[in-house]
């Protein structure tokens, strides 16, 4: 039943990949197919009893992460910050917010992670800083046209008295992308640009002081031993130099303006990534260890994304099109095919992601039509992701099968909600502190004797998803992820970018990796015959012999290798 149609095969092995790209000459650098676990520090584990996760908590939880079998951790921002966007508003790029710990605690964390064989990737936010950053405070105090204001995008308003914003761009988190300041004499003055909240002023990367400042930030953390950076808003930084109005007819009404081509994805940004790559390579030249740059690159197509992962730019860029694909085989096959053709096909690696701290969790997202199916589909999608060539990221709680939490309005803290009053894009529901143990909140997240509650309320049903339970239940999400990660290693898929689609019935996708790992996903609700002969390795649902259940995925070892 499953034969390979040659016109639809994708084989990226061997010659297509430039030897040693981005590495100190090694054939397959560690990051090309690494699996990184994203730790949202506020919500991972609280060591101090204040209801907020912290670095000592992360350190205490490292053995749990290591047991899962990932290659490293990405830590969400823990820098001093007024927390208007939960740390993505950085007031000091070279320190630790006391809420999360201090630099000594960070050093211990890095040492422990490395002892466990885990890489440490920090989150860095170069598009904007906090309005509490010293640069912005100086800019506010300084006069229009001053050097201090040149570090940001200050402009005079339109209208008779400058009462209208300089252009019609919208902020991602609602409202105009501009706020007006009061000048030193108390009069209404210039406007400054912020593509997110007003407390996150955009930096002006055309000012020659900005790039060297961030070089220093990178070096500061690299000197502390970090292994790389996740780059926030990596398609941002530069805007059209004239800041013209957007001619998108919907621009005035839309609350989020993620597609304004004047505000994002400008050619100059690539120069920054080349510069950052050079900083990383200067460390590699000393010790031979690759440092990783992974970008949050939200651009419309895989082909545009490929430009960000050219050999002298970022190592990885999250491929969000998989995350946004609806649960159907055509959508999945299309985005996977595009990624492999346009990104892997140019010699880079695809970086797959199904969940993060900004997205509705897969269990809920795939279950909008049928909540029972949501968990089954999330499990299947996980096996699919882990079988694909390239790197992958797992967001804390994904390995516990956590659904999104439906929080009441009064509990919401996301600036998107606070600024728009709309729950449509609200992200608190995927950020609720992790359940570790026990039957009631705080579920071991914070000490039981603590008077503080977790910063977002945990629902009672979290009891079904604690790490303790997951580790003791071999049918849990956790064991599925762990087994998938182990098999991925055992199958020697590292460094191999081959994927060959198999012919399947309409509801099923199947492909072969290397010389014999078959992954098949049944997107339909009905059982189908097991796709290929061979030895079953792992399935996302109990699978009677010869059957691939509905909303399930399975891996087989082709027997003999190359038989399919």
The CA-atom distances, in angstroms, between 323 and each of 140, 437, 485, 551 are 40, 29, 19, 17
Q: Shortest Cβ distance from residue 265 to ligand NOJ (Å)? A: 15
Could you give the CA distance from residue 221 to residue 216 in angstroms, rounded to a whole number? 9
Helix (H) or strand (E) holding 75: strand 72-75
Could you give the residue numbers annotated as active site? 232, 296
Between 83 and 466, whose beta carbon lies closer to ligand NOJ?
83
Which single residue is written with the structure tokens 């960070």? 106
Between 233 and 381, whose beta carbon lies closer to ligand NOJ?
233
Q: Shortest Cβ distance from residue 205 to ligand NOJ (Å)? A: 15
Of the candidates 171, 312, 297, the one whose C-alpha atom is nearest the C-alpha of residue 234 is 297
Q: Are 372 and 364 contacting, i.e. CB atoms less than 8 angstroms apart?
A: no
Q: Shortest Cβ distance from residue 305 to ligand NOJ (Å)? A: 16
SS3 of 304, please?
A: helix
Could you give the CA distance from residue 54 to residue 148 in angstroms, rounded to a whole number? 34
Of the candidates 120, 131, 358, the one whose C-alpha atom is nearest the C-alpha of residue 233 is 358
- Closest residue to ligand NOJ, based on beta-carbon distance: 88
User: What are the structure tokens assigned to 415, written together?
Assistant: 């600036």
Q: Using CB under 6 A, list all residues that contact ligand NOJ.
A: 85, 88, 125, 196, 232-233, 296, 357-358
- In the chain, count H helices and then E strands: 13, 19
Between 76 and 498, whose beta carbon lies closer to ligand NOJ?
76
Q: What is the dihedral of CA 376, 377, 379, 381, to 10 degrees?
A: 170
Between 236 and 329, whose beta carbon lies closer to ligand NOJ?
236
Q: Shortest Cβ distance from residue 33 to ligand NOJ (Å)? A: 23
Q: Are 393 and 352 contacting, i.e. CB atoms less than 8 angstroms apart?
A: yes
Length of the chain in terms of residues written: 564
Q: Shortest Cβ distance from residue 47 to ligand NOJ (Å)? A: 23
CA 482 vs. chain centroid, Å, equals 20
Q: Shortest Cβ distance from residue 230 to ligand NOJ (Å)? A: 9
Between 110 and 234, whose beta carbon lies closer to ligand NOJ?
234
Between 54 and 232, whose beta carbon lies closer to ligand NOJ?
232
Q: Which residues pair with 553 in a beta bridge?
A: 521
Q: What is the dihedral of CA 133, 135, 139, 142, to 10 degrees?
A: 120
């Amino acid at each position: 039943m499953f034969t390979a149609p040659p016109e639809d095969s994708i084989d990226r092995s061997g010659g297509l990949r430039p030897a040693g790209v981005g590495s100190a000459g090694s054939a397959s650098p560690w990051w090309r197919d690494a699996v990184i676990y994203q730790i949202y520090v506020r919500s991972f584990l609280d060591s101090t009893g204040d209801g907020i996760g912290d670095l000592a908590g992360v350190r205490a939880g490292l053995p749990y992460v290591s047991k899962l079998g990932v290659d490293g951790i990405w830590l969400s921002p823990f820098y001093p910050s007024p927390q208007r966007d939960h740390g993505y508003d950085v007031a000091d790029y070279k320190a630790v917010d006391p809420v999360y710990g201090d630099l000594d605690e960070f050093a211990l964390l890095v040492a422990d992670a490395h002892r466990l064989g885990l890489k440490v990737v920090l989150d860095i936010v170069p598009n904007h800083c906090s309005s509490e950053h010293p640069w912005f405070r100086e800019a506010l105090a300084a006069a229009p046209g001053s050097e201090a204001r040149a570090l940001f995008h200050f402009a005079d308003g339109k209208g008779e008295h400058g009462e209208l914003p300089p252009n019609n761009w919208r902020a991602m988190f609602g409202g105009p992308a501009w706020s007006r300041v009061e000048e030193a004499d108390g009069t209404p003055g210039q406007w400054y640009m912020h593509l997110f909240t007003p407390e996150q002023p955009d930096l002006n990367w055309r000012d020659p002081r900005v790039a060297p400042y961030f070089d220093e930030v990178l070096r500061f953390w690299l000197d502390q031993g970090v292994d790389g950076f996740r780059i926030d808003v990596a398609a941002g930084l530069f805007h059209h130099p004239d800041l013209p109005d957007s001619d998108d007819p919907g621009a005035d009404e839309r609350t989020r303006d993620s597609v304004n081509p004047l505000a994002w994805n400008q050619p100059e940004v690539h120069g920054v990534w080349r510069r950052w790559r050079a900083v990383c390579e200067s460390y590699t030249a000393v010790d031979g260890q690759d440092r990783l740059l992974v970008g949050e690159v939200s651009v419309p197509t895989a082909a545009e994304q490929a430009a960000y992962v050219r050999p002298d730019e970022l190592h990885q860029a999250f491929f969000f099109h998989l995350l946004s694909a609806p649960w159907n085989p055509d959508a999945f096959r299309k985005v996977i095919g595009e990624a492999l053709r346009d990104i892997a096909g140019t010699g880079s690696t695809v970086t797959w992601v199904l969940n993060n701290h900004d997205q509705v969790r897969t269990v809920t997202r795939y279950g909008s039509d049928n909540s029972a199916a949501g968990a089954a589909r999330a499990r299947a999608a996980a096996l699919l992701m882990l079988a694909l060539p390239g790197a992958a990221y797992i967001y804390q709680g994904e390995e516990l099968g956590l659904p999104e939490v439906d929080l009441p309005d009064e509990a919401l803290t996301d600036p998107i909600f606070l600024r728009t009053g709309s729950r449509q894009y609200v992200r608190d529901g995927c950020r609720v502190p992790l359940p570790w143990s026990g039957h009631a909140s705080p579920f071991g997240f914070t000490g039981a004797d603590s008077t503080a509650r977790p910063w977002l309320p945990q629902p009672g049903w979290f009891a079904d998803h604690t790490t303790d339970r997951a580790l003791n239940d071999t049918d849990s999400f956790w064991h599925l992820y762990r087994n998938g990660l182990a098999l991925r290693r055992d199958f020697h898929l590292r460094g191999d970018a081959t994927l060959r689609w198999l012919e399947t019935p309409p509801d099923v996708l199947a492909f072969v990796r290397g010389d014999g790992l078959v992954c098949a996903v049944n997107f339909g609700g009905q059982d189908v015959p097991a796709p290929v002969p061979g030895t079953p390795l792992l399935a996302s649902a109990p699978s009677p012999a010869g059957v691939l259940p509905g909303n399930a995925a399975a891996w087989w070892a082709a027997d003999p290798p190359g038989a399919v």
